[in-house]
Amino acid sequence: MRTTVFAAWLGALASCILSSCDTPVGQGAGWGAATGAIIGGAATGRARYAAIGAAAGAAAGALTGKIIQENQAARYGPPPPGDYPFARWAGTPGLYYSPYTGRVYNLRGVPPGGLTRDVDTGRLFRKP
């Protein structure tokens, strides 16, 4: 049983490391797989059920991520042709220039690829 719980934790850790996908669907699938593996392995003590829990969790997480992604698309509207422009690094960690106005923004809490609205123009841009 100890080996099985360790395998479940190892599978959960691997899915967290590999879930560096920037989309809500990918992140939801990764976290769902990690949670399902932990619950399946801890509840039964068998590696087979940890794998089944990981698969079920990944499916549920991907569905949840898809709903979040659709809500974001409804809030922001369709992306412009060629996608949103990226900000430029301002030389200080976490600070970036807007591609529209050159205003400096503190984007420390924004994940890579996350959207930020320029307060002067109202247009969206991405953090690199």
| Position 6, amino acid | F
**Tell me: the pLDDT tens digits for 80-106?**
788 889 999 999 999 999 999 999 999
Task: Give me the pLDDT at residue 92, please.
Answer: 94
Rounded Cα–Cα distance for residues 101 and 72 (Å): 24
Q: How many helices (H) and strands (E) does the chain have?
A: 3, 5
Record the pTM. Answer: 0.49
pLDDT tier, 127 (very low <50, low <70, confident <90, very high otherwise) = very high
Task: Give me the pLDDT at residue 78, please.
Answer: 75
**Tell me: the pLDDT tens digits for 43-61?**
888 788 888 888 888 888 7
Domain boundaries, the chain: 2-76, 88-126
Pairing of strands 124-126, 88-89: unpaired
Task: Give me the pLDDT at residue 10, please.
Answer: 58
* Higher pLDDT, residue 14 or 57: 57
Tell me: pLDDT of 5 over 60: no
Rounded Cα–Cα distance for residues 61 and 30 (Å): 7
3 state DSSP class of 105: strand
